[in-house]
Structure 1
């Protein structure tokens, strides 16, 4: 993960707020919540960060610094995240059991199913690496990677059907 740290993406020890999207959730400090299309929940957080959670998604919001969330730990199902670009701004990370996806301004989806994490970039750029190890790949718009034990991190342009299926789960 050295590359993530060198690139200015860093992880902070923060206050944790655990969420499971089953129905409307109580407000998270710094975020407003609304139920959205297709049984999803949308969180609008400080600094323009938007998180759309699939029904049943299990995630933990990682602290707030200067009015901006620092990240999310995702344990199951999918999130669609939009983080506006900010000059010299703080990075934002999604940590899953298999991977860390870090960004500085983009819209991307992260899906956890069993022992696999899939990351897809709608627009912008996202660095993805394993939680253990130093190999990192960078995804651009329309690209994705599956992170699973024993398999290489291979960046691929995802087929329209795969993108549509994931986005439909997220009300897009």
Structure 2
């Protein structure tokens, strides 16, 4: 088992402000890792690919998993905190949300390659939720996604810390206060 206490995950349903908080942390000079899902969607659309959440969810999940593993490996040498917009376990939550089987290697890696025990969760917040060309889920689907993330992180024995409904800056301050305690 490998535990990296400097790796912090920000998870939750889509459209709950995770990416904005990650951007705020990056602007403050912290090391951040962007969400893989949007990047994969853009690549697949540009290439005419089918590994998309509205086409081939299993292939989409596999690409997300591979990128999450690569992001973990690429940051192993960091000694300062690294903030991830979603973690390896998010792919498992996504597969469960879709009713798809979870490959054993994904579970094994999620159990073996550990992040800091504190996982920050951006809970459902309808006031800030917006759909766009890449985020096609309804708010109800976003809530269901969040519930799957809560479930997988709890099963993997992480401690969920819920972000307050507040400004992006206040949420970033909240994370930093929790990281430093």
- Structures share fold, TM-score greater than 0.5: no
Looking at both structures, which has the greater relative contact order when contacts are Cα pairs under 8 Å and sequence separation is at least 6? 2
Q: Which has the higher helix share?
A: 2
Q: Which has the higher strand share?
A: 1
Bigger Rg over Cα: 2
After TM superposition, the score normalised by the length of structure 2 is 0.28
After TM superposition, the score normalised by the length of structure 1 is 0.29
